[in-house]
Amino acid sequence: MRNSRPETPVSCHERASLAADGRQAVAQLFESLRPELLRFAHWLARDRSVAEDVVQETLLRAWRSRDALKDPAAARAWLFTIVRREHARLYERKRLELVCLDDGIEQACVPVAHSPDGELQTLRGAILKLPLEYREPLIMQVLGGFSTAEIAQQLNLSLTAVLTRLFRARNKLRALYGLSPAPEDASSEGLP
């Protein structure tokens, strides 16, 4: 009588069948948790495409380390931890380009006529050419959305002074653009 060794084709086939069943069960488990992982990643990233990338990378890492998962009941917490770490890795890898502030301001002042937003760059340059006393209230009103009363309070000016500075700032911008400035007595234009 002959003893069969563990390396015989019969035992290899049984092991392969058990391994395939185990891989199938893990794959089904991962796939069932995928929607929850995607919701969590979307909540973290606030961007659907980034969330999908994070979940894809999470499932790939989890699949490579599936042997480390001993208890299928712990899979959900394990996968959520991987999602959180993958999301954090995105920002570890991301290196923002540092630019000298003076260079950035000079580039913002140079009009770019060939770009689609060339007019915007030209306007920014023109605003930066205004004296500070006119530029500050104009930016506060247009970009900040402040009312003239709020601007007056912030800059410790009278309401009339703020209105005058805003009027003069707009006139100076018109002059920089080659347009004729508004008349000084703008209130009398609408009267008969």
Structure tokens belonging to residue 140? 């506060």
Characterise 182 by phi-psi region: left (phi > 0), alpha (psi -120 to 50), beta (else).
beta
Mean pLDDT score of the chain: 78
Residues of the chain with CATH 1.10.1740.10: 10-93
The proportion of the chain whose per-residue pLDDT surpasses 70, expressed as a percent, equals: 70
Would the pLDDT of 87 be above 60?
A: yes
CATH architecture under which domain 10-93 falls: Orthogonal Bundle (1.10)
Predicted local confidence at residue 19, as pLDDT: 61
Would you place residue 110 in the very low, low, confident or very high pLDDT band (cuts 50, 70, 90)? low
CATH of 116-184, one of 1.10.1740.10, 3.40.50.10490, 3.40.50.300, 1.10.10.10: 1.10.10.10
Q: Confirm if 169 and 183 have CB atoms less than 8 A apart.
A: no
Give me the sign of the Cα torsion angle 166, 167, 168, 170: positive
Structure tokens belonging to residue 188? 């009398």
Residues 6+ apart with CB under 8 A from 127: 135, 138, 139, 173
Tens digit of each residue's pLDDT (9 = 90 or more) over 125-178: 888 888 889 989 988 888 778 889 989 988 899 999 999 999 999 988 888 877
Would the pLDDT of 191 be above 50?
A: no
Residues of the chain with CATH 1.10.10.10: 116-184
Tens digit of each residue's pLDDT (9 = 90 or more) over 40-51: 999 988 899 999
Predicted local confidence at residue 159, as pLDDT: 94
Cα 50 from Cα 27, distance rounded (Å): 23
Would you place residue 189 in the very low, low, confident or very high pLDDT band (cuts 50, 70, 90)? very low
Mean of pLDDT values over 110-115: 50
